[in-house]
Amino acid sequence: MIKTITAATLALALTACSNTDALDANISSLTNKVDTLSSQVANLESQQQTIANDAAAAKKAAQRAATDAKEANQRIDNVVASYKK
């Protein structure tokens, strides 16, 4: 019984040692994939921030244009009102 347990333990130890190279390769591959994904996330975050800044600038410009249009309409109304008097 002890010989069987010893043989099984030895077999498991040898099997575990032979799999470390494959595990190291898998870990290396996964590390590379995580690094790639991290880089892609950083790029997407940068793009999103740029888009958010552009959207804020566009909103500000639209508000400014609306205000300018309102003021122009008021000036036109004033000119029209002065002709009616």
How many CB atoms are closer than 10 A to CB 80?
9
Q: Is the pTM of this model over 0.75?
A: no
Query: Percent of the chain scored above 70 by pLDDT?
Result: 84
Q: Would the pLDDT of 4 be above 60?
A: yes
Mean pLDDT check: name the lowest of 5-9, 44-48, 51-55: 5-9
User: What does 48-78 look like in DSSP terms, one character per residue?
Assistant: HHHHHHHHHHHHHHHHHHHHHHHHHHHHHHH
How far is residue 64's CA from residue 57's CA, in Å, rounded to a whole number?
10
Q: CA 17 → CA 21, 42, 77, distances in Å?
A: 8, 38, 89
